Each structure stands twice: as structure tokens, then as C-alpha cells.
Amino acid sequence: MTEFMSQTDAFTWAMESDPRLRSTVVTVIMLDGSPDWDVVRDRFMVLSQDLPIWRQRVVESPAPAPPRWEDAPDFDLDFHLRRVSAPDPGNLEGVLEMARVAAMSDFDRARPLWTATLIEGLDDGGAAVLCKFHHGLTDGVGGVQIAMALFDLTATPRSRDEVRTKTGEPEVHQRGVLSDYAEIVRYDLGLLGKGVSGVLGAAPKLLLDAVRRPLQTAASAGELAASVYRTTRPVTATGSPLMKDRTLVRKLGVHEVPLGTLKQAAHRSGGALNDAFVAGIAGGLRRYHEKHGVTVADLHLTMPISVRKDGDEMGGNHITLARFDVPVGLADPAERISQTHERTNRARNEKSTPYIQIIAGAMNLMPRWYIGSVLRKVDFLASDVPGVPVPVYLAGAKVRVQYAFGPTIGSAVNVTLLTYVDTCALGIDVDTGAIPDFDAFYDCLVEGFDEVLALGTD
């Protein structure tokens, strides 16, 4: 059945007219052995039956209606699931090369926007699962929820009945041109009705507030307008004088840091885990600029902020993108954590956040070049995803570690933190046009996290 994209997802979809702004997410799950393929296939079959969006494709709609999700009439599970032997070299390096190619390639947009590949025969006897999906299917938290539907808490896989959350086979609805137009007209009328009822409902309160507290009402309106401007303004120049070019070429890397130590460093510096994580990236960026003889102060950061509510269904994309500057030039890691905490809190509490769907809807009516300009000059992107806190198994094979590689969407680098048990696994996605010397950048990033971790070491 027809389900229209949220305005924020429609914004993400629209900006992909520039392929440098694609929202492709890649994850890598490292296993200690080969899982039972039949069980893996059955788990993904159950997933596609429980979550209709995993059997749906995106169809464009006439403006102002956003694109819509509709059942793919030719859904074939075996197109989305692949099983291959590990390429040379038969280790993590070879797996990351496969992940790099997946991150750079687009989807077949006539089909659902995901694939999963089992890579067997690693030289240590292990295996890996490479998953690729569009951000419109799910955000990081939703992705972890979905992963728990695939995983088991013991080496013995659960039965299909224990995994399923819904009963019965999903129906594929055949649609005609007239029914599509009827849905679009219904959406447009509903949008108009909500707008009218919202204005009529808010008008008496606004009028009363303006009479009782004219100065406060005017100040509040001004604060909201300023917040909307901060949310939608284009970034006209990179903060970095070094990382300027944007290309379609990517390089992936990974790094692991202890969860407990990073938390301790954050708490001792008056911040949260996410603040210490961002401060570690900032320290690496400062060192990278210094290595090239360049002084840097603040850099532009894009950070996904979850707006997921209790009761939201499994999966789905429930984030908004916050943009603010981070004090990269600060050499003191504790001060960097503290200031990052203050700036992140301001971004999380923007007055415009409750209206993000309305703002995104307005921006979707703007020219595509403007949409791209909002993100194309951002310096870096950081995403912190709370993962699975206990050891898990996939079809009999134990999960060693999981890495997530978020899209750069116009930035020079995206670093995604995904926790697993007591480890923070960092997925590093670099635009090699902006950062051509990946190895030098990687060493600087490791040093940046080392100086933050030192704050949490007794």
C-alpha cells in the first residue's frame, strides 16, 4: 500500500541528484566462523515479511507530495542476498575493499534499497556479512533493532516462529494510474487540511499571547526565526582551508577503542560519550592540519540527532541533521570535550527541531542546487550509535565486532561509532578528494583518540 516519505526523507532523496550526497549506509559484521546459510536466508525472509518497507521501492510523486513507498511487484529475495568467497587478501582488508565499492555504487532503484552479502573463507576461518541499505529504510538505532531480529543470544538459532513478529504472508498490491493519483490528491488535501486546522487552532493562542505578553511573544518568534535560519542556511565555505575538494571516491578504515575508558574520559571532562567521541575526531583533524602546516580553528560538523519516540515501529528513519561548529583547534582534550558538550546541547535544543518536517517540506520545493548547498561544504560528519550490549550470534556463528560506515553526504569524512559489548568500533569513511593521504589521516585520528582516552585512564 502507498506510504509517503516523510519530508525529511524526501529531502534526503532529493539531494541525491548530486551523487556526492548519496545516503548509502554500509555495515560489516565480523564472525568467528561461517553461519548456516539456510538460517541466514530464512532470517532475511522473515525480516522482509515483518517490515514491508524492505519489499518496497520508491516512486516519485507530483509536487508538492513527496515520493512514496510502494510494493515492488518483482521482489526477489535472492537478488538482495549474495554468498561469495573472500577475495585476496582473505582478511579484513579485503572485506573493507568490498565495502568501499558497495559504498560508492548506487542502488537499482526499481527494487527495494538493500543488499546483504555473506563473505566466507577468511584466512582465520571466520566470515563476514556486508550489508548495504539506503538511509531512508532505517537510522542507526532502527538498524540495531533490525539486527537483533537477525541475531541470537546463543549459538543455537531460534525457530522461525520465535523470530516472527507478524503472521501471514505479506500481500503485494497491484496499483493503477488512477489509484496513484487518488492517493496523491488525498495526501495534498490532507496536507492542506492540517495546515488550515493548525493555523486556526494556533491563532487564538498567538493573539492572546501577543496581547498579554507582546515583548515575550515577539522575542520568541524572533528566536524561532533565527533557529530556522541556522537550520536551513547554506554553508558557503569549508571551515578547513585544506579539505576542500569533494569527489565520488571513498576509502574506508576501522579503529576500536574501549567503551568504558571513553565514557570515563567524557564524564571527567563534564561531557557525555558522544562529546568524547567528537572530541577524539576533532583532535585527529587538528593533528592532520598541523601535519600539513595549516592552522585550524572551528570546523563545520553535521550530526544526526535521533527524534525516535517510544512506540515507533522497528526500523524507520527517525533522525534530523544538526549542523554546528566544533572547536577543533583546541589542543586541550578536556576543554574540547567540555565545549563540544555545550555546543551539542544547543544544537539538540534548537527551537526549530519540532518543526523539522515543515521546514524540510518547504526546502523540498526549493531548487536542487540550494538543497546541495546546505551540506556540500560541511567539513566532517560524526554519528554515535548505541549497539548491542551483549555477545550475539548469527545462525550459529559468534559476532566478533560490527562496523558501520555512514555516508559522507558532502563532508570530507564521516566517522561512525557503533558500540558492541564493551568496544566502540569506529567506521571511517573518507572522501579521498578532500583527504588524499588516508594513512596519514588515520594515524592522526588514532592519536586524537589516544589523547582523549588518556583522560579516562587511572
Residues designated catalytic: 135
Distance of CA 377 to the CA centre of its chain: 18
Spacing of C-alpha 240 from chain mean position: 23
Nearest to 407 by CA among 131, 114, 25: 25
Residues 280, 336: Cα–Cα separation, whole Å: 9
Q: What is d(CA 160, CA 409) in angstroms, rounded to the nearest whole number? A: 38
Cα–Cα distance between 347 and 300 in angstroms, integer?
13
Q: Which residues pair with 51 in a beta bridge?
A: none
Our CA angle for 349, 353, 359, nearest 5°, is 150
Hey, which bits of 329-422 come out as E strands? 380-388, 393-394, 397-405, 413-420
Residue 422 CA to residue 420 CA, distance in Å, equals: 6
Strand pairing report for 56-59 and 250-258: unpaired
Which of these, 378, 417, 419, 386, lies nearest to 306 by C-alpha position?
386
Given 3-state DSSP classes, what are the helix, strand and coil percentages for the chain, each rounded to the nearest 5? 45, 25, 35
CA dihedral (310, 313, 314, 318) in degrees, to 10, reads -70
Helix axes 214-232, 177-212, angle to 10 degrees: 140
Distance CA 374, CA 232 (A): 7
Residue identified by cell 589523547 is 451
Alpha-carbon distance values, 68 to 3, 13, 108, 219 (Å): 6, 11, 16, 38
Query: What strands lie across the sheet with 127-134, from one edge to the other?
Result: 81-85, 114-120, 127-134, 24-31, 397-405, 393-394
Strand pairing category for 413-420 and 423-431: antiparallel
CA within 13 Å, CB half, 103: 29
